[in-house]
Amino acid sequence: MSESASILFVGDVVGGLGKRTLLALLPSLRDRYAPDFVVVNGENAAGGVGITPKIAKEMLAAGVDAITLGNHTYRHREVYPYLDEEPRILRPANFLASQPGHGWCVIDGERGRLGVISLSGNLFMKAGRPAFPEADSALHALAGKVDHVLVDMHAEATSEKVAMGWHLDGRVTAVVGTHTHVPTADARILPGGTAYITDVGMTGPRGGVIGVKRDQALTSMVTQMPIRFETSSEDPWLNGVVIRASSESMRALEIEQVLLPAPGVA
């Protein structure tokens, strides 16, 4: 039997400021929560869109155990071979099999083995295959190989994320939603024992519009004209959750939101 373990999951890291916020706060988060596993969504880490091997390596070197991605996975071509080579970086499992990368991995920890699965929603998102049967296939592939499972459901529609929580309740340790960059107030343990939240939020500049410079986002929306977006540098925060996983396989005891300002980070 596995032992109980804790998992820190950090929501979408946006830009250099988001990465610096993560790296600055990680040591104190380790002190406070003693996470056995750290998983970070890095889909906006490179200038607000996508990720590069350099940034991913920096995060892994800082003690991040796995990186999940989303709709911005393929923004930077230089990451394509890295997605195939590095087991700890995940693009949504329900992308086409022909697309670079893979959708799940296993992290060996001192307190058991954590399976991490990345999924993309299908509503208002571009994902080649449906998320729900892919979640089942991923769990089938991981059966017997893991003690805990964390699913990052990267989706636009809250309905699809709630539904994925119910679909996997009792079969995984946690289903955490990402992509909308705004944390939701519904973190809870579902009746079957799965920790759930619709959106973890983002790690980066809260002073913008979901990461983009405020004036640029406003100009775009007010004038309805095309404009180049840059990442905001105002008011960095880290948004995450800590999940305490039971020693009983695929059950969570607790999910706690972590919403921390990082005023000293620039």
Q: Which is nearer to Fe ion, 5 or 153 (CB)?
A: 153
Residue 103-142 contact track with Fe ion, rule CB under 5 A, x = bound: ----------------------------------------
Structure token digits, residue 252: 């969570």
Site membership for Fe ion, residue 177 (CB under 5 A): no
Query: Do 55 and 17 touch, CB atoms closer than 8 A?
Result: no
Query: Do 174 and 182 touch, CB atoms closer than 8 A?
Result: no
Q: Which residues contact 89 (CB under 8 A, 6 or more apart)?
A: 42, 51, 56, 66, 67, 69, 82, 83, 101
Q: Which is nearer to Fe ion, 217 or 253 (CB)?
A: 217
Question: How many residues lie near Fe ion (CB under 5 A)?
Answer: 6
- Position of tokens 């880490």? 45
Sole window of 59-67, 114-122, 172-180, 245-253 interacting with Fe ion (rule: CB under 5 A)? 172-180
Q: Is 72 a catalytic residue?
A: yes
Shortest approach of Fe ion to residue 125 CB, angstroms?
A: 8
Shortest approach of Fe ion to residue 43 CB, angstroms?
A: 5
Cα–Cα distances (Å) from 55 to 52, 60, 101, 156, in that order, read 5, 9, 17, 25
Site membership for Fe ion, residue 44 (CB under 5 A): yes
Shortest approach of Fe ion to residue 189 CB, angstroms?
A: 25
Query: Do 71 and 44 touch, CB atoms closer than 8 A?
Result: no
Q: Out of 2, 12, 134, 160, which residue is the one contacting Fe ion (CB under 5 A)?
A: 12
Torsion-angle region of residue 201: left (phi > 0), alpha (psi -120 to 50) or beta? left
Q: HSE-up of 245 (CA within 13 Å, CB side)?
A: 33
Torsion-angle region of residue 47: left (phi > 0), alpha (psi -120 to 50) or beta? left
Q: Which is nearer to Fe ion, 5 or 90 (CB)?
A: 90
Near Fe ion in 65-104, by CB under 5 A: 70-71
Site membership for Fe ion, residue 183 (CB under 5 A): no
Site membership for Fe ion, residue 199 (CB under 5 A): no
- Position of tokens 């086409």? 96
Shortest approach of Fe ion to residue 11 CB, angstroms?
A: 8
Round to whole Å and give the CA distance between 7 and 146. Answer: 14
Shortest approach of Fe ion to residue 180 CB, angstroms?
A: 8
Shortest approach of Fe ion to residue 200 CB, angstroms?
A: 10
Q: Which is nearer to Fe ion, 35 or 177 (CB)?
A: 177
Round to whole Å and give the CA distance between 23 and 214. Answer: 24
Q: Which is nearer to Fe ion, 19 or 148 (CB)?
A: 19
Q: Out of 148, 161, 179, 206, which residue is the one contacting Fe ion (CB under 5 A)?
A: 179
Residues at the site binding Fe ion, with contacts judged by CB under 5 A:
12, 43-44, 70-71, 179
- Active centre residues (catalytic): 72
